Amino acid sequence: MATAAIRAARRLAALVFPFAAMAALDAAAAPAHAAYPDKPIRIVVPFSPGGGTDLISRAMGVAMAQDLGQPVVIDNKPGGGTIIGTDNVAKSAADGYTLVMATFAHAVNPSLQPRLPYDTEKAFTPVMLVGRSPNVLVVRADSPYKSVRDVIAAARARPGAISFASQGPGTSAHLAGELFKSLAKVDLNHIPYKGAGPAITDLLGGQVDMMFATASAVGNLLEAGKLRALGVTTSQRSTSPDLAKVPTIAESGVPGYAAESWYGLFAPAGTPPAVVARLNAAARKAVTAEAFRKRADAEGLIVSPGTPDEFGRYVHGEETRWSKVVKDARITLN
């Protein structure tokens, strides 16, 4: 009996141990969890190519790719006043491989759109505020309007006849125009586009009269003399050499007028803190690079790198401020 038991035990060991050995070898051969990032990163730009947000994102993408060691791909998803592209990121995996270059519209849409497909407060993790800049009220170089006061006088003489373009509903160019209408007590015709690129194309072509464009979108055209700047939207004059002599809209007959654009990176909510920290470090390095700084200075962009928490607080403050402006001025998308 004992001998039979020993033979049975040996047969069982012969069957079990090879499998155990194979399992151990498989575990040893399995690669360790790859360090982030190990594949390309996508930055969604919720506008058409060619506008300020697109240009800033591409410049950042090149610099971030050098630091991260992976390609940074710019994915333009325009429409819905940035909602289409932003929603795409809100529903993406929280793994650090999909980001959105958010703008002013990100903070304003909750006040203008009661039924957003995402919860702005809960769907995103702040990464970094890239920078802030004025919008610029621009007209064609051959426009009859030489000043903000000219625009006000013409708008009062012909209510609704003067049109202004924007890169979409709820964007800084749109709300800057609506705030102008409210404070200057004029009636202007808003023409929305799916990005600054097509809006500026129609402005240059004479299909629209003016635009409260981001400084980054029109900097080269102002320098080339194709557009004329009438006023900046911030409460103080721009420090950019190209805009320093341009008066503020507030000092040009619209007291109390103030608005600014901004760019910032968000990741989907739930993105691991270590990944957010890595992205923040790469973005901070990108915006402080000399090439990016020169471009930013030329376009009036005040580079403002900081922590994710600082960016989150800034956006929350913007949401609060513009919610009051939208309500008090009775601004709607209709």
How confident is residue 33, by pLDDT bands cut at 50, 70 and 90?
low
Per DSSP, the chain holds a count of helices (H) and strands (E) of: 11, 11
Least confident range from 35-39, 194-198, 281-285: namely 194-198
Sign (positive/negative) of CA torsion 321, 325, 327, 332?
Answer: negative
Q: Does domain 135-252 fall into CATH 3.40.190.10? A: yes
The two structure tokens encoding residue 117: 């497909």
Domain map of the chain by residue range?
A: 41-132+261-329, 135-252
User: What would the mean pLDDT of 283-288 be, rounded to a whole number?
Assistant: 96
Residue 32 burial by CB count (10 A; 0-12/13-18/19+): exposed, middle or buried? exposed
Is the pLDDT score of 324 beyond 90?
Answer: no
**116 has a pLDDT exceeding 50:** yes
Q: Do domains 41-132+261-329 and 135-252 have the same CATH topology?
A: yes
Say yes or no to pLDDT of 331 above 90: no
E strands, the chain, are 41-45, 72-76, 98-103, 124-133, 135-140, 163-166, 189-192, 210-214, 227-232, 261-268, 302-303
Burial class (CB in 10 A: 0-12, 13-18, 19+), 270: exposed
* Coil, strand or helix at 43: strand
Please list the alpha-helical segments (H only) found in 136-272.
148-157, 172-184, 196-205, 215-223
Those residues whose C-beta lies under 8 Å from the C-beta of residue 15, and which sit 6 or more positions away, are none
Fold of 41-132+261-329: D-Maltodextrin-Binding Protein; domain 2 (3.40.190)
Evaluate if pTM is beyond 0.75: yes
State the average pLDDT over residues 212-237.
Answer: 92
Asked whether 261 and 214 are in contact (CB, 8 A), the reply is yes
pLDDT (average), residues 74-90 = 95
> Strand, helix or coil at 124?
strand
Contact 134, 215 (CB under 8 A): yes
Percent of the chain past pLDDT 70, that is, above it, reads 89
